[in-house]
Structure 1
């Protein structure tokens, strides 16, 4: 397993993490039902397989199956809590300070632990009024209170639209950010990842494999690429090659998925930093000239 330092948290984390959404999402086409007895038992085996492989970061949320994902992880970690760093989330829409505290404390009960390493505001797009609500209406104060009690160690925030949390990161409260960033959704590269690098904020990306969206696009447009190219591996390589990304939150249902991801990680060594990828037409032209030695 390969590890890296998770920004200013100082945590030494595995480059791939176990994402907890599949422990709440039914996928009948692939025979997956974590609400069945067999499905739950398989999920627990998968968690143990991840820990055995050296994966030491697990990410979940209370909204994943109304706590179902957290409860599975809690069962699996009863005797192995010290083997990993644990991250969960808390909502903010329509919540006040007291309800934020209660949500986190309920998560701790389901996770069967007295603390989580990272607590993250769980959100998609943050509008101005949302940012003001989090800062001014006691929600940040709630997380700070939980941190002072030792129930959480680091504060984080998740987002589907990276630009919308730039102001929140400027508050200085957040040590971890979980943006949507992958080979087909790269907006974070134009602003957010520059800020996280400057502030030494830990980055654990969501949807690293595009949640299957890239594969579905190819199915409609270029189906032959699905057989000639390992699209899954390509998505992973893109993120592993970006020096600003610390962790890939990958949903894994079966132990064999853990093994596959661990092998892909071990086999890949970047030869180019995607942080340096030209992202404007003028820069593409300029680098074309530079690579050909043209002044």
Structure 2
């Protein structure tokens, strides 16, 4: 497995991580139900397969199935806590210091561990009011208290909309940012990824495969593209080719998905730096002229 440094955190992480949402989401069409005894056993086997393959980072959240994902991962952590870095989350909205601390401590119980390596505010879009509440209304103070107690090592946040997290990223209070960034949602490339790189913040990616949205879209408007290429591999190539990205959270339900993704990551070598991709019309014209000798 290929590894890289997660910003300035000191953690050397595998390029892909086990994304924990799949251990809470039911997909009847694909015969996937992690709430059944058979599905739970399959999920636990998948996590063991990932750790055996060298994946050393697992990311989850208490909101994934009201703690169900954490409880599945906890079954593995009973015997393999030393084999990986463990990250979970806490919702900051409307939470005071005591509520945040209790939520994290409840997560630790479900995960069957005394500490997590990364605790993240589980956010979507952040308003200015959210920023003030997190920074001065108790949530950040709670995570710093937990860090002082040794129950968390590093503090992070997640965001669906990169632009809304710029102020939080600039606050110099966070070690890791997990952001939605993929082939069809690229706003982070224009600001947050650059800001994080300059500050040494570790960058983890959520929804690298677009959560299946690109594939569904292609079904409707360009099914021939789906037949011509493995769209999931194309999505993975995109994020693996951006040097500002350290860690890629991938939802993997079955062991064969783990083996396929690990094999792909180990073989793939980027041929283009995606951070240099033109993202404005003027830059497209300029680079087109340069490539054609003008």
Write the mapping of 1:81-100 to structure 2, written as runs, cut at 5 A: 81-100=81-100
Write the mapping of 1:114-125 to structure 2, written as runs, cut at 5 A: 114-125=114-125
The answer for the alignment partner of 2:175 in structure 1 is 175
3-state SS of the aligned residue for 1:17?
Answer: strand
Distance in 1 between residues matched to 2:165 and 2:187, nearest whole Å: 13
Distance in 2 between residues matched to 1:231 and 1:134, nearest whole Å: 38
TM (norm. structure 2) is 0.99
Distance in 2 between residues matched to 1:170 and 1:160, nearest whole Å: 17
The answer for the alignment partner of 1:201 in structure 2 is 201
The answer for the alignment partner of 1:241 in structure 2 is 241
Q: Structure 1 stretches (4+) deviating beyond 2 angstroms?
A: none
Distance in 2 between residues matched to 1:168 and 1:121, nearest whole Å: 11
The answer for the alignment partner of 1:267 in structure 2 is 267
How far did 1:136 drift? 1.3
How far did 1:227 drift? 1.3
What stretches of structure 1 of length at least 5 have no aligned partner? none
3-state SS of the aligned residue for 1:155?
Answer: strand
The answer for the alignment partner of 1:226 in structure 2 is 226
How far did 1:289 drift? 1.6
3-state SS of the aligned residue for 2:34?
Answer: coil
3-state SS of the aligned residue for 1:78?
Answer: helix
Distance in 1 between residues matched to 2:227 and 2:41, nearest whole Å: 32
The answer for the alignment partner of 1:63 in structure 2 is 63
Task: Report the count of equivalent residues.
Answer: 294
How far did 1:208 drift? 0.3
How far did 1:292 drift? 2.1
C-alpha offsets along residues 6-50 of structure 1, whole Å, 9 cap, x if unaligned? 001010000000000000000000000000000000000000000
The answer for the alignment partner of 2:9 in structure 1 is 9
3-state SS of the aligned residue for 1:189?
Answer: helix
3-state SS of the aligned residue for 1:80?
Answer: helix
TM (norm. structure 1) is 0.99
What stretches of structure 2 of length at least 5 have no aligned partner? none
C-alpha offsets along residues 100-149 of structure 1, whole Å, 9 cap, x if unaligned? 00000000000000000000000100111111111111110000000000
How far did 1:225 drift? 1.2
Distance in 2 between residues matched to 1:138 and 1:172, nearest whole Å: 17
Distance in 2 between residues matched to 1:202 and 1:163, nearest whole Å: 17
Distance in 2 between residues matched to 1:138 and 1:184, nearest whole Å: 35
The answer for the alignment partner of 2:285 in structure 1 is 285
